[in-house]
């Protein structure tokens, strides 16, 4: 019912923003993968709130606990269940939201669907739900890295109107993590940090773009027609809170080119078939071609702002509302590990689907 993602490597998340805990269940992970909480925690630390002065100041350790599916340091092939406790809940900050709909949030739409909702911090619609995705994504990243030699790295490439440089073939995790905004372009990163701080002081917010590269994927992963790699990536990314756009390879910019300009010519690199350009973003016909997969995800400005806005109540009365509580003035820095997690989940699933289709790897 909308809480489970994947075909073979499957993820189900559970929990609300101000409930007792959040968590995830991963089913379909192969047996024998070396796994511990220490493998998962670094990505959760990159996603957690309170890590810098340009993100929400909610204080959560986001310490993950594996409660099933791992024995003597190895996965069993059975469901892997993980829990992450909520430690710093302040539901009183959201009392006004019990009766008023926040602009551009899911308050009204959850009421329209279910007839009731958890108004404490947005409940299930809060971006806090993504903690479970990041824990599961860390498992997928380890599976891809250890068994397929595939690397997933994402970074902030745009905030507001500030656009950064970043080579999809060269950006490393170290490049991304060297500043609090997670932008590999040092000069632009400094400007981005200033812009986010200015928006925060003004009670406002900014949006932007996360770029992601997946390197080392062999040719042949993916499915025709409905389960194309780019289609599954698009669904994964657009399932994230605050996302409003997805493009892969040349994306919308490719529409400015002719076919002769856009086509990726093939050539032989030793015994390997390569393309001289990669406007396809590593995917052709929904199936990987062995080149780097790269795509961009657009995130809107954070909907909660500390300014008075028009709205209505559950009783259909006109009123106003002003944001309260602790919120990100820009979701981009914390969105980076979440984008990586969802990309890894898609690719791990397709790697297992590919192996199931072949008599040999």
Burial code (b: 16+ CB inside 10 Å, e: under 16) for 223-244 equals: beeeebbbbbbbebbeebbbbe
> pLDDT category, 51, cuts 50, 70, 90?
confident
Segments forming the whole domain that contains residue 122: 4-357
Structure tokens at 334: 């914390």
SS3 of 241-300: the string is CCEEEEEECCHHHHHHCCHHHHCCCEEEECCEEEECCCCCCCEECCEEECCCEEEEEEEC
Structure tokens at 43: 């990505």
Selected residue with higher pLDDT from 359 and 318 = 318
Distances from the Cα of 81 to the Cα of 14, 63, 145, 175, angstroms: 11, 14, 21, 32
Element (H, E) at 219: strand 219-222
Structure tokens at 250: 């040349």
341/75 Cα distance (integer angstroms) = 19
27/49 Cα distance (integer angstroms) = 27
> pLDDT category, 98, cuts 50, 70, 90?
confident
Q: What is the CATH number of the domain that holds 43?
A: 3.60.150.10
Q: What is the pLDDT of residues 298-319, one digit of tens each?
A: 999 999 888 899 999 999 999 9
Overall pTM > 0.85? yes
* Strand, helix or coil for residue 332: helix
List phi, psi (to 5°) of 155: -155, 160
86/20 Cα distance (integer angstroms) = 6
> pLDDT category, 180, cuts 50, 70, 90?
very high
Which of 342, 359, 349 is CA-nearest to residue 135?
342
Which of 88, 90, 120, 126 is CA-nearest to residue 106?
126
Q: What is the pLDDT of residues 157-177, one digit of tens each?
A: 999 999 998 899 999 999 999
330/127 Cα distance (integer angstroms) = 12
Q: How many residues belong to the chain?
A: 361
List phi, psi (to 5°) of 128: -65, -25
Contact 155, 183 (CB under 8 A): yes
Give the chain's domain count. Answer: 1
Average the pLDDT over each of 37-41, 42-46, 51-55, 347-351 and give the range with the smallest value. Answer: 51-55
> pLDDT category, 90, cuts 50, 70, 90?
low
pLDDT at 300: 97
DSSP string, 4-40: EE-SSSEEEEEE-TTSSEEEEEEE-PPTT-B--HHHH
Selected residue with higher pLDDT from 325 and 336 = 336
Structure tokens at 288: 């990987």
> pLDDT category, 360, cuts 50, 70, 90?
low
Structure tokens at 355: 């192996």
* Average pLDDT along the chain: 93
DSSP string, 50-82: TSSTTS--------EEE-SSEETTEE-SS-EEE
């Amino acid at each position: 019912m909308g809480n489970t993602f994947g075909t073979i490597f499957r993820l189900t998340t559970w929990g609300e923003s101000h409930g007792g805990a959040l968590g995830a269940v991963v089913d379909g992970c192969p047996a024998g993968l070396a796994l511990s909480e220490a493998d998962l925690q670094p990505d959760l630390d990159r996603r957690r709130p309170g890590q810098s002065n340009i993100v929400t100041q909610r204080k959560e350790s986001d310490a993950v606990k594996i409660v099933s599916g791992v024995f003597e340091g190895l996965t069993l092939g059975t469901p892997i269940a993980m829990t992450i406790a909520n430690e710093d809940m302040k539901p009183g900050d959201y009392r006004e939201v019990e009766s008023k709909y926040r602009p551009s949030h899911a308050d009204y739409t959850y009421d329209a669907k279910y007839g009731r909702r958890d108004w404490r911090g947005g409940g299930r619609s809060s971006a806090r739900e993504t903690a479970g995705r990041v824990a599961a994504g860390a498992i997928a990243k380890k599976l891809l890295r250890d068994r397929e030699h595939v690397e997933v790295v994402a970074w902030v490439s745009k905030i507001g109107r500030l656009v950064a440089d970043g080579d999809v073939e060269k950006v490393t995790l170290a490049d991304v993590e060297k500043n609090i905004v997670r932008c590999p372009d040092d000069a632009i990163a400094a400007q981005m940090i200033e812009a986010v701080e200015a928006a925060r002081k003004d009670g406002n917010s900014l949006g932007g773009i996360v770029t992601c590269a997946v390197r080392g994927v062999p040719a042949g992963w993916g499915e025709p027609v409905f389960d194309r790699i780019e289609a599954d990536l698009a669904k994964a990314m657009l399932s994230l809170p605050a996302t409003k756009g997805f493009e892969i390879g040349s994306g919308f910019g490719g529409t400015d080119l002719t076919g002769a300009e856009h086509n990726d010519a093939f050539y032989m690199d030793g015994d390997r078939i390569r393309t001289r350009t990669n406007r396809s973003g590593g995917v052709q016909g929904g199936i990987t071609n062995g080149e780097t997969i790269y795509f961009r995800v657009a995130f809107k400005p954070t909907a909660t702002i500390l300014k008075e806005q028009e709205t209505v109540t559950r009783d259909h009365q006109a009123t106003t509302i002003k944001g309260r509580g602790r919120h990100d003035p820009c979701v981009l820095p914390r969105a980076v590990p979440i984008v990586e997690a969802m990309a890894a989940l898609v690719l791990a699933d397709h790697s297992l689907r590919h192996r199931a289709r072949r008599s040999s790897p």
